[in-house]
Structure 1
Amino acid sequence: MHHFFSMMFSLPAIIGHVSGVSDRPYRSELKVTNGGPWGSWGEKQFCPSGSYAGGFQLKVENPLIFGGDDTALNGIRLFCVDQSRNLRSVIESSVGGWGDWTGRSDTTSRSDTSRYFTAFQLQVESPQGSGDDTAANNIKLKYGPRDWDYIERMSAYWGDYGDWSPTCEGTGICGLQTRVEESQGSEGDDTALNDVIMFCCD
């Protein structure tokens, strides 16, 4: 059973303003085994002290018609909230140049689940040889102990989900780093976002 939640954060004027910190002590690093192989790692970006990721937004290029060069997932933003669910900042690492930002989704405020994300799962298309590569296409972010306590945005359908990352040691996810392939030019095969690492803080 998949749960999709969308609700407004407080401080709506901050939405669209991306600002985090480049360094924060973290307790654990979350990785998955199926990330795409192309591109370079961007800078680590963290929520301000006392806040953690409680929402996210994706930059997605819709499937192209007539055999275009698809890139699918291009970027991930995390919305950093404090214990009172006040929005503190919006953070992102490297982002590809194609597509548009989706609406944002956030965790529920129910007392029996975490307000913060604690694990993730990545949907990735394996290398296609002479075909069109897209690499990472979607992500699920987990916020509670049950199998269905996760949020997934609708994105491209290519590829498969791999295993879940480990679960946070600490309070919740507090930062991210993305691996993005730069534009390959008119004759190349663009893939944009390939992989992501999440960081967990106390």
Structure 2
Amino acid sequence: MLCESHSSKRLKIEHLIINFNVLQKVMKILLYTILLCYLRESWAAQVLLSPQLTNWGTWGEFEYCPEGSKVIAAQIKVELWSGGLIDDTCLNGIKLICGQVGGGVTRNITSKVGQFGSYKPTVHSCNGNGFMTGFMLRVEEEGGAIIDETATNNLRILCSGSPNGFIELEGERWGEWTNPRICDSHEYICGLQTQVQDGQGITVDDTSLNNIRVQCCDLSQEDLLFYGIKKEQNGVI
């Protein structure tokens, strides 16, 4: 009976060890799954912010392309330089055109737009099946109260298939170009938010558009296969 008792206890201990090992494996799988879901959410939620070399104005609402649509073109609203003592604002608005690659336009997104100037007639499109993946801004940094501040002057868009190239729009020439802000290789730009200073009146300097944020969205599995893209994170330059 004593031997049977020891044998029974030994079996129970072995069962406990086996169950504990199984539980450990299940917990590892569960934690890995949670981590993977978190990383996917982090990738999908990536927002790129322009370098804040100026910071006047308030942010508009984020506007988004319809699900599955990508930004395939851009157009800008510009107040042309007037020279002399005239208050200039230069870039007043950005219009991103959403569409299906190889298909038609689905929506235009602008967020907040300044009151000065007009849209340039040219719509600049990514080539072929390309879509917007990043941007650069030309910004005149804050120069002091006696200078006519213009803040952001122009926009360059970066498109898929052209990692070393960009399309420069027809804004003004003041300031320097920022470093590019680029989505990861498995993402595309799908949303826009702008920071715009409202009109300040006759006696106060106006700057209009100052900064932008863009939303990066994950390419679908079909898109990844079509473009031959592997998931990896580029980071922000």
State whether TM-score is above 0.5: yes
Match of 1:177 in 2: 193
- Alignment TM-score, normalising by the size of structure 2: 0.69
Identity %: 34
Are 2:137 and 1:122 aligned?
yes
- State yes or no: 1:162 paired with 2:178: yes
Which structure has more relative contact order (CA 8 Å, sep 6+)? It is 1
Kindly tell me the number of residue pairs found equivalent between the two proteins: 174
Matches within 5 A, 1:181-192: 181-192=197-208
Q: Is the contact between residue 119 and residue 143 of structure 1 (CA under 8 Å) also seen in structure 2?
A: yes
Shift of residue 84, structure 1, vs aligned partner: 2.9
Structure 1, unmatched stretches of 5+, are 1-24
Whole-Å separation in 2 of the counterparts to 1:126 and 1:170: 33
Q: C-alpha deviations, 1:103-148, integer Å up to 9, x for none?
A: 2110010xxxx61110111110011212000000111110135454
RMSD, aligned CA = 1.8
| Partner residue in 2 for 1:76 | 94
CA contact (8 A) 1:119 1:168 kept: no
Q: CA deviation at 1:197?
A: 0.5
* C-alpha distance in structure 2 between counterparts of 1:28 and 1:167, whole Å: 8
Larger CA Rg, structure 1 vs 2: 2
Q: Which moved further from structure 2: 166-175 or 63-72?
A: 166-175
User: TM-score under structure 1 normalisation?
Assistant: 0.81
Any runs of at least 4 consecutive aligned residues in structure 1 with deviations exceeding 6 A, and if so which?
none
- Report whether the alignment pairs 1:105 with 2:105: no
Residue 74 of structure 2 is aligned to residue 56 of structure 1 = yes
Report what 2:169 is aligned to: 153
Alignment-derived partner of residue 20 in structure 1: none
Counterpart Cα distance in 2 of 1:63 and 1:147: 32
Q: CA deviation at 1:159?
A: 0.4
